[in-house]
Structures are given as structure tokens and as C-alpha cells.
């Protein structure tokens, strides 16, 4: 009887390790595919690059939507620079948030991930007429020790994300920070060249 219990425990532990191993392989596959998209794209077409990377994220995670907001150094506001397609979505007005405004603005201000298990029950969530429901995880995009933007991971089902998903979203955000830093550097070089010519 005791041998049967030990065998069951070992099988259960082995199955758990196997599932964890498969999850890690899937996570690494996504990160590699995002890196491949970066290597294969022209930084001058950064909007297409962001959309490609967001589609990769959405395919691998199966969540409802993912978006990237970057800080405009001039206005000091977050602006959406890329968003995955959402079923039934219709293009709306551009979203911009000040530091500290809404969930993404708070993430920009603190540099810390914020998770809303149910957006309809949180006063920090700025609906802005979208009538969104479900879960929202806002993750900082950090470059050179500063928050330069926010990634928004949304599912239309409440309480969709657990600690493992949030950790994974932070890994994805780290990868996006490379793209965002390259885009910012590219734009700064273009601006300097324009000033030099004029």
C-alpha cells in the first residue's frame, strides 16, 4: 500500500515537472520568434515590427488583446503605438494617458506591474468608452533603468492571469523593451538629421 502511494506521488511529481518543462519551451519559443521578427525587420518600419511582435504574442498566449504604449518625451504622455487585432473591434480614437492616469499611467509612474482581475470592479481603470470587461495586466517597459512605456495584456474573462502568466508577461515586456529602445534611438537620429539639414 505504501509503495502505491509513493508511486502515485512520483508519477504526479513527474507529470508536474513535464508540464513545467513544456511551458518553459513554449515561453522560450515565443521569445525566440520575437527576436527573429526583430532581426528580419527594418527599424524604419517600426509600426509593422510592433504589430508583427504583438501578433506573435497573441498567437502564443491565446489572450484577447495585447498593446504597446510608449512615452512621448515631448508631451510626457503614453500613446498606443501598436495593438493586436481584437475580434469585432472597430478603430476608435487614439488613446493617450498622462503619468499617473489610469492603470497604464500608474504603471508608468511606478515602474511596477499592475494586475486587475476584473476591470469592471476597479476605480483606476479608465474605460474611455470601450466598454471593456475581463482581466487586465499592465507591465512596464523598462530601458536603461527608466520606464519608457507599458504593455497591456487583456483577456475578456475575469481572473484570467495567475502569477506564472504575470511573470511571463514581464519577460515579454523585457523583449519588447529592446525593440522600443531601438525605435526611440532611430527616431532621435532622424530628428537630429532633420535639424542638421535645416
Q: What is the pTM of this model?
A: 0.77
Of all residues in the chain, the percent with pLDDT exceeding 70 is 86
Let me know: does 142 contact 160? Beta carbons within 8 Å.
no
Of all residues in the chain, the percent with pLDDT exceeding 90 is 37
Please check the confidence at residue 88 and state whether its pLDDT lies above 50. Answer: no
pLDDT digits (tens, 9 = 90+) for 165-190: 999 999 999 989 988 888 888 888 88
Please check the confidence at residue 77 and state whether its pLDDT lies above 90. Answer: yes
Look-up of cell digits 498566449:
61
30 by DSSP, 3-state: which?
helix
What are the residue ranges spanned by the domains of the chain? 2-197
**Distance in angstroms (rounded) separating the CA atoms of residues 60 and 70:** 23
pLDDT digits (tens, 9 = 90+) for 89-116: 445 556 788 999 989 999 999 999 999 9
Cell triple for 130: 470601450
Task: Say if domain 2-197 classifies as CATH 3.10.310.30.
Answer: no
Amino acid at each position: 500500500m505504501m509503495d502505491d502511494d509513493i508511486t502515485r506521488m512520483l508519477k504526479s511529481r513527474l507529470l508536474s515537472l513535464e508540464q513545467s518543462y513544456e511551458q518553459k519551451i513554449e515561453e522560450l519559443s515565443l521569445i525566440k520568434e520575437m527576436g527573429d521578427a526583430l532581426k528580419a525587420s527594418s527599424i524604419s518600419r517600426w509600426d509593422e515590427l510592433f504589430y508583427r511582435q504583438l501578433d506573435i504574442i497573441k498567437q502564443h498566449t491565446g489572450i484577447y488583446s495585447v498593446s504597446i504604449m510608449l512615452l512621448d518625451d515631448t508631451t510626457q504622455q503614453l500613446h498606443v503605438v501598436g495593438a493586436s487585432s481584437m475580434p469585432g473591434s472597430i478603430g476608435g480614437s487614439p488613446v493617450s494617458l498622462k503619468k499617473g492616469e489610469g492603470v497604464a499611467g500608474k504603471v508608468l509612474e511606478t515602474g511596477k506591474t499592475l494586475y486587475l482581475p476584473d476591470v469592471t470592479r476597479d476605480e483606476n481603470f479608465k474605460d474611455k468608452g470601450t466598454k471593456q470587461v475581463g482581466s487586465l495586466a499592465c507591465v512596464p517597459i523598462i530601458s536603461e533603468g527608466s520606464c519608457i512605456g507599458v504593455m497591456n495584456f487583456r483577456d475578456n474573462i475575469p481572473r484570467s492571469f495567475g502569477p506564472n502568466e504575470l511573470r511571463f508577461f514581464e519577460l515579454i515586456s523585457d523583449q519588447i523593451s529592446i525593440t522600443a529602445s531601438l525605435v526611440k534611438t532611430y527616431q532621435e537620429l532622424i530628428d537630429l538629421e532633420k535639424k542638421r539639414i535645416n
